[in-house]
Amino acid sequence: MKKTYKIDVDCANCANKMEQAAKDTPGVADATVNFMALKMNVEFEEGADVKSVMAEVLKNCKKVEDDCEIFL
Amino acid sequence: MNKKQKKVLIRIIIAAALMAVLLLLPLEEDSILRFVLFLIPYFVIGYDILKKAFKGVKNKQVFDENFLMAVATIGAMALGEYTEGVAVMLFYQIGELFQSYAVGKSRKNISALMDIRPDFANIMENGELVQVDPDEVEIGTEIIVQPGEKIPIDGVVIDGNATLDTAALTGESVPRTAQIGDEVISGCINMSGVLKIRTTKDFGESTASKILDLVENASSKKSKPENFISRFARVYTPAVCYSALALAIIPPVVSLIIGVDPRFTQWIYRALTFLVISCPCALVISIPLTFFAGIGGASKAGVLVKGSNYLDLLSKVKYVVMDKTGTLTEGVFKVTKIVPNNISKEELLEKTAMAEVYSNHPISKSLKEAYGKPIDSSCVLDVEEIAGSGIKALVNGYNLAVGNEKLMNLLGLQISPVQEPGTVIHVAIDGKYSGYILISDKLKASSKDAIKALKQSGVKKTVMLTGDSKNVADIVANDLGLDAVFSQLLPADKVTKVEELLAIKQANEQLVFVGDGINDAPVLSRADIGIAMGALGSDAAIEAADVVLMDDDPKKIAKAIGIAKKCMRIVYENIYFAIGIKVGCLILGAIGIANMWYAIFADVGVMVIAVLNAIRALRVKNV
């Protein structure tokens, strides 16, 4: 399953870091962050609980870039 | 500017003013007072960077630009280079502000270009016009679109007529007209007259929503240079940090061992210069920005690109394979020539149309359409169809035979074969040959220029695929100056032909297939890049293709390639320029020629130039 989220982040490199952090989160099959459109596309693994996975993604993103937001 | 940006701007102004004052004050070098005073602008401009750097270290994310800047400036302050310390922070912030402003601005520019999002729909409720959310309008609802408003949902006109501005969708400024019975698509602006429309789709499935969705998600498919840059940034920053560390330690230690003055301060200063130069911002921001601007510029021209990777591929197109019908030709059959023999043109057409009155064949339809007047079928008697040849009929007392060469031969008439593209309808009246009517699919007016433009843009081979007869296909190909043509193909053969071409091309050459999106989805997806044209209102085309031309002008193919080339040129300019200057400054810094000021230029200056260069991709008018 794929979902798109609006995000807020200030710099392009931070967006790259968010992408990496999201990819490394368990339950996420793949993720891309589009800095210019301020969007995150997340592809979830089969049977993953979207809500809890996204909470984890947000936590991991905050770890790599304090000044970011994902609008869940 | 948004709130955040304004705040930074104010901090920049305050810090710069403070620094100017401090530089004018007759302060003693190396005095504690001077150090303390310089700390004020330093913290004004840099407190958030320091905070972020600290948090980064805490979260084990050491090598980010905040950390680099923090270490470099703290180091400079510790070495007594107060001016440099503050200046690095100051210029870094100016650069960041500029970047965020430029990015925000181009975001806005592009959403303005794609200003097709309808905000409301008007529906009649108890005799009154009410504005509702287009999302809530069900299929089959009657909506009213007034002059100046956007059509919110795809539908069919059931009352009124108007001219529509489709510029936001197609990039073409020629208005279209809409009358009762016409299908209209969302995103067009009604310029005159009130239209009553019965919706045929949900809002989410309507053209405007689909296009917006496509453009907004476009840059998610990343291109090679973008992936290269993110990998590069991940390796490069730590590498420079370690070299800085090495630069600060190894030369002094070696000097100590061989008994020369170690000059610690000098080497530490050089190492700090390294850190300032190392920030990868210029690359990391300018590459995606270029693609974003390129995709935005392309959509302004009516070319929707589904991902930045396709811009990359488009710039390397060497083979262009095109479908004939609907792509290079109009895709509708029309009477294009009437050649009478001892009879007037009008009479020949009238008699032929009458003979065909009962037939529903596309050819008969086009004859009747060309005639344009109602036909009294009671004058047509004894209609006899001769399979594979034509029709015989008694029209107003005349014995008519309408059909191909075979039919004429059957009547014992010898005619010279006609060498023209299309279907030839010969007519004999009372056993005498009376001429022929040519029915063909017309070439698009711009097809010839389109092929020429493709050649000029460096395309090696232009190929046409068609299910049509060899005779017709060869004439069209000759007319247009195509390099190769394959005719009498079934839809499946088209895939095979494309695969054959894919096999002979070199790896870095790309093959594009252009079709009208009808029946060619398999070929569109098999080619390196599939371009669907005339996609207004055709969902299938938008889904199947990688690049979508909003109108059906074949010249847009070369335009799309041109835009892609310009975009990629800018991307590579920025990559070479930014990496070149940085490496140059790193070397100059290591041997002590470049000081902190060079470093600031290598960081902020390069970034500003790269961003300005990136924004050029938005301008596509003369590509």
Mind listing the pLDDT tens digit for each residue in B453-475? 999 999 999 999 987 778 888 88
Q: Is B96 an 8 Å CB contact of chain A? A: yes
**Please, which pLDDT band fits residue B229 given cuts at 50, 70 and 90?**
confident
Rounded to whole angstroms, the maximal C-alpha distance in chain B is: 123
Q: How far away is chain A from the Cα of B25, in angstroms, using its nearest Cα?
A: 37
Strand partners, B440: B334
Asked if B220 and A41 come within 8 Å (Cβ–Cβ), the reply is: yes
> Class assignment of domain B121-202?
mainly beta
Q: How far away is chain A from the Cα of B217, in angstroms, using its nearest Cα?
A: 7
Give the Cα separation of B377 and B379 in Å (integer).
5
Mean of pLDDT over chain B? 85
Res. B530: pLDDT tops 70: yes
Q: Specify if A42 maps to a domain.
A: yes
- What are the tokens at A11? 């710099």
DSSP string, B312-358: HHHTTEEEEEEEIIIIIEEEEEEEEEEEESSS-HHHHHHHHHHHTTT
Q: Quick one: pLDDT at residue B250?
A: 92
Give the Cα separation of B541 and B516 in Å (integer).
7
Res. B90: pLDDT tops 60: yes
Q: Quick one: pLDDT at residue B536?
A: 61
Q: Quick one: pLDDT at residue A57?
A: 93
Strands (E) in B444-566, as ranges, are: 461-465, 484-486, 510-515, 529-533, 547-549
Q: What is the dihedral of CA B493, B498, B499, B502, to 10 degrees?
A: 170
Partner residue facing B288 (CB), from A36, A41, A64: A36
Output phi, psi for B471, to 5 deg. Answer: -55, -55
Asked if A34 and B280 come within 8 Å (Cβ–Cβ), the reply is: no
Res. B413: pLDDT tops 80: yes
**Please, which pLDDT band fits residue B572 given cuts at 50, 70 and 90?**
very high
Q: How far away is chain A from the Cα of B418, in angstroms, using its nearest Cα?
A: 58
**Please, which pLDDT band fits residue B205 given cuts at 50, 70 and 90?**
confident
Rounded to whole angstroms, the maximal C-alpha distance in chain A is: 33
Which one, of B316, B301, B350, B321, lies nearest residue B489 by Cα?
B321
The predicted model gives B25-43 an average pLDDT of 85
- What are the tokens at B173? 């400024």
The predicted model gives B43-58 an average pLDDT of 88
Catalytic annotation, pick one of B154, B323, B520, B552 = B323
Q: Residues near B412 by Cβ (< 8 Å), separated by ≥ 6?
A: none
Q: Specify if A71 maps to a domain.
A: no
B159 is catalytic: no
**pLDDT tens digits along A31-48:** 988 887 788 888 899 888
Q: Is B365 an 8 Å CB contact of chain A? A: no
Domain carrying residue A8: 1-48
Which one, of B230, B362, B279, B364, lies nearest residue B96 by Cα?
B279
Q: Specify if A67 maps to a domain.
A: no
- What are the tokens at B135? 């999302």
CA–CA distances in Å: residue B36 to residues B22, B40, B246, B302:
11, 7, 31, 59
Decide if the complex's ipTM is over 0.85. no
**Please, which pLDDT band fits residue B517 given cuts at 50, 70 and 90?**
low
Res. B115: pLDDT tops 70: no
CB B405 within 8 A of CB B436: no
**Please, which pLDDT band fits residue A72 given cuts at 50, 70 and 90?**
confident
Partner residue facing B281 (CB), from A13, A32, A66: A13
Asked if A12 and B96 come within 8 Å (Cβ–Cβ), the reply is: no
Q: Quick one: pLDDT at residue B86?
A: 92
CATH superfamily of B331-443: Calcium-transporting ATPase, cytoplasmic domain N (3.40.1110.10)
Q: Is B220 an 8 Å CB contact of chain A? A: yes
Q: Which of A13, A35, A62 to mutate to test the interface with B (most CBs of B within 10 A)?
A: A13
Strand partners, A4: A41
Res. B331: pLDDT tops 90: no
Res. B493: pLDDT tops 60: yes
* CA dihedral for B189, B104, B289, A56, sign (positive or negative): negative
Q: Quick one: pLDDT at residue B10?
A: 93
CATH number at residue A41: 3.30.70.100
Provide CATH 3.40.1110.10 ranges for chain B.
Answer: 331-443
Q: Quick one: pLDDT at residue B227?
A: 86
Give the Cα separation of B304 and B321 in Å (integer).
19
Q: Quick one: pLDDT at residue B539?
A: 67
Chain B CB contacts of A10 under 8 Å are 4, 96, 100
Asked if B59 and A66 come within 8 Å (Cβ–Cβ), the reply is: yes
Q: Quick one: pLDDT at residue B563?
A: 94
**Please, which pLDDT band fits residue B113 given cuts at 50, 70 and 90?**
low
CB count within 10 Å of CB B555 equals: 19
Res. B13: pLDDT tops 90: yes
Which one, of B327, B289, B294, B295, lies nearest residue B530 by Cα?
B327
Strand partners, A7: A70
CB count within 10 Å of CB B162 equals: 24
CB count within 10 Å of CB A72 equals: 12
Query: Tokens 């060309």 — which residue?
Result: B370
Strands (E) in B214-328, as ranges, are: 303-305, 317-323
Provide CATH 2.70.150.10 ranges for chain B.
Answer: 121-202
Tally of structural domains, chain A: 1
CB B407 within 8 A of CB B390: yes
Q: Specify if A55 maps to a domain.
A: no
Q: Quick one: pLDDT at residue A4?
A: 82
Q: Quick one: pLDDT at residue B114?
A: 63
Asked if B288 and A37 come within 8 Å (Cβ–Cβ), the reply is: no
Asked if A16 and B230 come within 8 Å (Cβ–Cβ), the reply is: yes
CB count within 10 Å of CB B79 equals: 16
Res. B332: pLDDT tops 80: no
Residues 267-306 of B with CB under 8 A from A: 280-281, 284-285, 288-289, 291-292
Q: Which residue of B has its CA nearest to A32?
A: B220
Chain B CB contacts of A14 under 8 Å are 64
Asked if B55 and A11 come within 8 Å (Cβ–Cβ), the reply is: no
Query: Where is average pLDDT lowest: B98-112, B342-356, B469-483, B581-595?
Result: B98-112
Q: Quick one: pLDDT at residue B45?
A: 92
CA–CA distances in Å: residue B611 to residues B177, B570, B577:
42, 10, 12
Asked if B284 and A17 come within 8 Å (Cβ–Cβ), the reply is: no
Res. B537: pLDDT tops 60: no
Q: Specify if A64 maps to a domain.
A: no
The predicted model gives B369-398 an average pLDDT of 82
Q: Quick one: pLDDT at residue B319?
A: 94
Res. B321: pLDDT tops 90: yes
Q: Specify if A1 maps to a domain.
A: yes
Query: Where is average pLDDT lowest: B214-228, B415-429, B490-504, B608-622?
Result: B214-228
